[in-house]
Amino acid sequence: MAVPFPIFRALVPQSHPLFHPFRPASLPGLDDTASKKRSLLFCVPSELNPVRPALSFCIGTHLIPHPNKVDRGGEDAFFVSSQYGGIIAVADGVSGWAEHDVDPSLFPRELMANVSSIVEDEEVNKDPQILIGKAHAATTSVGSATVIAAVLERNGILKIANVGDCGLRVIREGRVFFSTCPQEHYFDCPYQLSSEAIGQTYRDAMVSSIEMVEGDIIVMGSDGLFDNVFDHEIISTTSRYKDVVESAKALADLARTHSMDSNFDSPYSLEAVSKGFDVPWWKKILGRKLTGMVICRGKLDDITVIVGQVVSS
């Protein structure tokens, strides 16, 4: 029986196997009224466009579970597909469900498995918001997760739908050309899809559409990446690597290093201080806590990174 559950953020999201696309199962339509570390490389095939070269992703991924959850693989899940010009998605399970004897990894795993099974559904029609909605409607596990999905059409249009604080950056010519914004009810409490009625739905997703060009770099990840790595570090790291697999691994390793560094002022710690959640220095020496976690300027978490380079045929 489902337990009424307050909305709160995954302090420690979990990891999942990589899901490859397969033939979709028959799913009901949406209500219109309403491990350890993994790496992957593939280049998505594309077709010629009479107006401009067809664009697609060359993708690398890397996942590092929270240090305390290595044996279980963490609570993040991700999905990549060669459908269209390429589809990528990340789901970050809410760890607070463990307090109710619920495995926080089950919901994001099933959510991404459902994304995999319905990605070719005609009703989805290359719309990541509908894709998220249909996957959520088909998910029966108890729990919740933040989620982001992006679909690259072969004409170069990248469509993005985001619920919560997973994120995406588009890097063009050495600068951040586009960035998603996290959706939060308040600090450390992001929007999330849930098995409970109190959660958000696909209709609450922040949607964006961007015209991509050859050479653009896309970095998608769970908050374990963006809470620990600044945008300028993402730019400098991706610029050092030609290989997207190496780039994804380097970003994940950097996030892990920062997350365990008590002297590093991370994006997460700076936001916490700005919201008044910091504690006096003498309490830090005693290991007092900030928002339920041992004081550490980085933020220990599962870290999922997907790096995509836009290429043309």
Which residue from 9, 55, 74, 80 is spatially nearest to 302, judged by alpha carbons? 74
Number of residues in the chain: 313
What value does the mean pLDDT of the chain take?
Answer: 83
Residue 272 has a pLDDT of 83
- Token readout for 2 is 């489902």
pLDDT > 70 fraction of the chain, expressed in percent and rounded = 77
Dist CA 289 CA 157 (whole Å): 44
Domain with CATH 3.60.40.10 in the chain: 39-251+302-312
- Token readout for 86 is 């390429």
- Token readout for 142 is 């108890």
Give, to the nearest 10 degrees, the angle between helix 231-240 and helix 244-259.
140
Dist CA 86 CA 230 (whole Å): 26
pLDDT digits 0-9 by tens, 248-303: 999 999 999 999 998 899 999 888 888 877 554 444 444 444 444 444 578 999 99
Q: In what order do the strands lie in the sheet with 55-64?
A: 39-43, 55-64, 303-312, 217-221, 167-172, 175-179
Taking a C-beta distance cutoff of 8 angstroms, is the pair 158, 212 a contact?
Answer: yes
Superfamily of the domain at 39-251+302-312: PPM-type phosphatase domain (3.60.40.10)
Name the amino acid, one letter, at 41.
L
Question: Can you state the percent helix, strand and coil of the chain, rounding each to 5?
Answer: 25, 30, 45
- State the first-to-last Cα distance of the chain, in angstroms, to the nearest integer: 52
Question: Does an H or E element contain 175, and which?
Answer: strand 175-179
pLDDT digits 0-9 by tens, 192-242: 999 998 889 999 999 999 999 999 999 999 999 999 999 999 999 999 999
Report the predicted TM-score, pTM, of the whole model to 2 decimal places: 0.81
Residue 199 has a pLDDT of 85
Residue 278 has a pLDDT of 59
Residue 49 has pLDDT above 60, yes or no: no
Give residue 33's pLDDT band: very low, low, confident or very high (50, 70, 90): very low
**Range of lowest pLDDT (42-56, 93-107, 130-144, 159-173):** 42-56
Taking a C-beta distance cutoff of 8 angstroms, is the pair 281, 75 a contact?
Answer: no
Question: Does an H or E element contain 186, and which?
Answer: strand 184-186
Residue 50 has a pLDDT of 52
- Coil vs helix vs strand at 111: helix
CA separation (Å) from 19 to 40, 84, 90, 117, 301? Answer: 11, 16, 11, 9, 22
Name the amino acid, one letter, at 303.
I
Dist CA 53 CA 155 (whole Å): 8
CB count, 10 Å around CB of 157?
15
